[in-house]
Structure 1
């Protein structure tokens, strides 16, 4: 069995009770770590994300530790699968990015991440089979115009929501999504933010799904090249 030190996140060097994990501190920062069996991370299938797959179990374990810290202190989640050789490597990691990590902890303190997915409202399917060429072109142009209008509407939604967040980011779209974005929102403004999501999308005839609150997974920009 190969053992290693798994790194979950960076936080401030303050006492937190963690089951199965602990803090390695250095100059006001702390790395949240646990000793793990490295064989658990070998041969994982990234396409296998059903609830009971080994990868899904490990991801849930990672998120559970990060969330526990997040309930007490600001946290910078590290990328899933960050493994170190030992305590000396942990201190080296904290030392190498000390200034950036402190600044980012200040930036996410008192804020939580919210995810927003926006889709076009469901419409009756348009059957273009058997129509004349002219009618087909008319229908086709109408569909393209509707899609372009939806894209413009979504851009407005993202712009307005970004104004109500400390930071925002959007992700590559898949399927029928018009927007998949994350927003870093002050804890005292979250109800207003959620209400604004529903107001904006409702007025534009769009469908919104809100997820969260999350630790600031989308807003951890400190890169640890040695990890």
Structure 2
């Protein structure tokens, strides 16, 4: 969802869309951006929003410090999404998305009702997991002085290094396919030095099998000289590709 540019002093910061059947059980952290979030309901859907002072968001794009305002607001956004996610299926919205008022929030829900309902059904009882595998620089030639080594030996070491890299890549790809078997959807992003940087939308009923497969990935790939980083569970940030017009 794209963010709106507002000109007034106050607006509604929107965090997520949900159904809100168990809204009374949701407990939010202390809010820096504004009031505690409320649920704006419309035709069976709910928009999680809080009234905020728009001046807070005026200059955050230029700020990058981990303890700065931008970081604090982003962490707060994630905390709100997670609080709802603990009880309800949730579609996280882009950080900094603002609507003018409650009427605009309801229009937003009406405009994308069918699409949003379909996505909520899709992510219900699912959680997102991430797995990243990075290869270490194991090229033997980079650590060997060129004096005293023949050209044939140097080329042999290069072939061995290339074969080792290819074996790691093949093993990771096979295990990515196995991980994806336990997921409803998977996304693999290309990143420098990464053999795998993937996210998985996993049914909660499949999480034990998914985690066992991830443990095998960890053991097998580490033996081949790569490092594995697993994260989760997360709200389905990577699997809610919705675009709604914000007015």
TM-score, length-scaled by structure 2: 0.82
Instruction: Tell whether 2:235 aligns with 1:215.
Output: yes
Corresponding residue of 2:244: 224
Corresponding residue of 2:21: 14
Instruction: Tell whether 2:89 aligns with 1:82.
Output: no
Deviation at 1:42, TM superposition (A): 2.1
Instruction: Tell whether 2:170 aligns with 1:152.
Output: yes
Give deviations 1:61-97, integer Å, cap 9, x for gaps.
0011001101111000011111111112111111111
Q: Of residues 54, 70, 85 in structure 2, which corresponds to 1:70?
A: 85
SS at match of 1:95: helix
SS at match of 1:182: strand
Q: Give, in whole Å, the separation in 1 of the partners of 2:75 and 2:220.
A: 36
Q: Of residues 29, 41, 46 in structure 1, which corresponds to 2:45?
A: 29
Over 3 Å counting, the alpha-carbon distance change for 1:69 and 1:207 in structure 2 is: same
TM-score, length-scaled by structure 1: 0.89
Q: How many residues align?
A: 225
Q: Of residues 202, 212, 215 in structure 2, which corresponds to 1:195?
A: 212
Q: Give, in whole Å, the separation in 1 of the partners of 2:161 and 2:245.
A: 47
Q: Give, in whole Å, the separation in 2 of the partners of 1:222 and 1:92.
A: 16
Give ranges in structure 2 of 5+ residues lacking alignment.
Answer: 1-7, 29-35
Give ranges in structure 1 of 5+ residues lacking alignment.
Answer: none
Residues 128, 136 of structure 1: 8 Å contact kept: no
Tell me whether 111-120 or 65-74 shows the greater mean CA deviation.
111-120
Residues 11, 99 of structure 2: 8 Å contact kept: yes
